[in-house]
């Protein structure tokens, strides 16, 4: 009898592992789909930024060198967007790690610049909030400023 019960245990856990593996695979698939959607949205924003750079370059008729820099920047941004769309996230991370090993100073500089940019963007985006009366101030009479005596 002991041998029969031992033989049943692996069979009982096998379907559970299969179900757990399927759930884990489904969760990874969902995460991958969400990451891919975010990746494509980011690439679309980069393309919009490239178009803005091209438009800015078109207004620089008096400065042909700056116009050339603007066009080059727009082309590089388009290439970056294509790279983002075509490359999987793990491959991007590997590419970035290789770049960081080859160019540590540039990586540090880019990290600081990105941190400053994100900080400024977050600080510059005020969230409109309605002015609310504080709950502590309810029921209290509002003080009026004293008039200066002459």
The per-residue pLDDT for range 100-118, each reduced to its tens digit, is 999 999 999 999 998 998 8
CB atoms within 10 A of CB 69: 14
**Alpha-carbon span 15 to 99, nearest angstrom:** 45
CB atoms within 10 A of CB 104: 10
Per-residue pLDDT band for 88 (boundaries 50, 70, 90) equals: confident
Between 30-39, 42-51, 126-135, the lowest mean confidence (pLDDT) is in 126-135
DSSP 140: S
CB atoms within 10 A of CB 118: 10
Helix axes 64-86, 2-58, angle to 10 degrees: 160
Residue (of 118, 121, 49) closest to 81 by Cα position: 49
Give the tokens for residue 8: 């049943």
Per-residue pLDDT band for 24 (boundaries 50, 70, 90) equals: confident
**Alpha-carbon span 145 to 134, nearest angstrom:** 20
**Alpha-carbon span 142 to 71, nearest angstrom:** 60
| Helix (H) and strand (E) counts in the chain | 4, 0
Average pLDDT of the segment spanning 53-80 = 91
């Amino acid at each position: 009898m002991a041998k029969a019960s031992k033989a049943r245990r692996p069979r009982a856990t096998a379907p559970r592992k299969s179900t757990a593996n399927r759930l884990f695979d489904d969760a990874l698939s969902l995460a991958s789909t969400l990451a891919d959607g975010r990746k494509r949205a980011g690439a679309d924003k980069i393309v919009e930024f490239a178009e803005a750079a091209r438009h800015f370059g078109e207004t620089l008729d008096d400065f042909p060198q700056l116009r050339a820099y603007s066009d080059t920047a727009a082309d590089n941004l388009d290439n970056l967007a294509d790279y983002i769309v075509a490359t999987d996230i793990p491959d991007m991370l590997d590419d970035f790690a290789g770049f960081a090993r080859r160019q540590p100073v540039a990586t540090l500089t880019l990290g600081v610049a990105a941190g400053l940019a994100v900080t400024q963007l977050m600080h510059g985006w005020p969230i409109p909030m309605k002015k609310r009366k504080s709950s502590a101030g309810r029921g209290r009479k509002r003080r009026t400023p004293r008039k200066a005596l002459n």
